[in-house]
Structure 1
Amino acid sequence: MDFETVSAADFGASLTGIGLNLLVRDVPAEVAFLRNVFGIEAHRVSADFAIVPYQGQLLQLHSDGTFADHPLLTLLPENPPRGAGIEIRLFNTDPDKAADRAAAAAAMVLQAPANKPHGLREAVILCDNGYAWVPSRVLSQEERDAS
């Protein structure tokens, strides 16, 4: 599917499984964060919307205005963070590189990269909208043995 040319109706009809839509104050700014920190490219980027594929999964970014008639809009906090309690896990993404890029982009690294008992090395990085992005990779056998 060509994300740059697909119609909204055809795109919507193609969606299956679980979808993740994030409401953000500034779609292009969130796209820049995802590109700069995680190397994720987005499609159909506008002030209102973006399609964000990641390892075969789709994420959609929507501006607040696109949800004007949606009941969720009335529940959004006036002040950040708005994404509290949500972790968006980016498996097979180097947490050390992502944390370095996040720091360089003045994003908040809430938790520095660390090896976890569940077999992953991960970090927690907050975007301006308050969503917790968790890049992680599988620990090597040597790293697992050292824990």
Structure 2
Amino acid sequence: MDYGTVTPEDFGRSLKGIGLNLLVRDVPAQCAFLRAVFGMEIFQPTADFAIASYGDQVFQIHADGTYHANPLLALLPETPPRGGGIEIRLYDSDPDTAAAAAKAAGATILQPPTDKPHGLRECYILCDNGYAWVPSRPTDPLKEPPK
């Protein structure tokens, strides 16, 4: 599918499985963060909406105002973090590279890159909208996991 030219109707009808929709205060700023830190592709960005892709996964970014008739809007906190309790895990992103890019972009590093006992090296990055992004990759299988 060509996300750059797909119509809203055709895009909506194409969605399958589990979808991710992020509500943000500033769509262009969120898109810039995703490009700079994770190298994501962004399609059809406007002040209100964008399609983002990560590998073969696609998700949507919506400005708060686009949810004017949605019951979720009334539940959004006025102050961050609005994404509390959700981790957006990016299993094909190097946490060291992402952490350096996030720091350069002014994002908050909640946890620096760390080798975890479950076999992944990961870090936690908080974007301006309060979502926790967790880039991760498998640890070196020859290296002893931390205790």
Is this a same-fold pair by TM over 0.5? yes
Question: Going by fraction, where is helix more abundant, 1 or 2?
Answer: 1
CA RMSD of aligned residues (A): 0.9
Give the Cα separation in 2 of the matches to 1:99 and 1:23.
23
Q: TM-score when scaled to structure 2?
A: 0.96
Aligned-pair distance for 1:146?
Answer: 5.2
Partner of 2:77: 77
- The runs of at least 4 aligned residues of structure 1 exceeding 3 Å deviation read none
Unmatched tracts of structure 1, length 5 or more: none
Give the Cα separation in 1 of the matches to 2:137 and 2:145.
16
Aligned-pair distance for 1:39?
Answer: 1.0
1:1-80 alignment, distance < 5 Å? 1-80=1-80
Give the Cα separation in 1 of the matches to 2:14 and 2:102.
33
Q: TM-score when scaled to structure 1?
A: 0.96
Aligned-pair distance for 1:37?
Answer: 0.8
**Inter-CA distance 80–146: structure 2 relative to 1 (3 Å threshold):** closer
Give the Cα separation in 1 of the matches to 2:32 and 2:12.
24
Give the Cα separation in 2 of the matches to 1:92 and 1:7.
29
Partner of 1:92: 92
Q: Deviations over 1:42-91 (max 9, x none)?
A: 10100011101112111100000110000000000111111111100000
Count of matched residue positions in the alignment of Structure 1 and Structure 2? 146
Q: Tell me the percent identity.
A: 62
Q: In 1, are the aligned partners of 2:117 and 2:145 still within 8 Å (CA)?
A: no
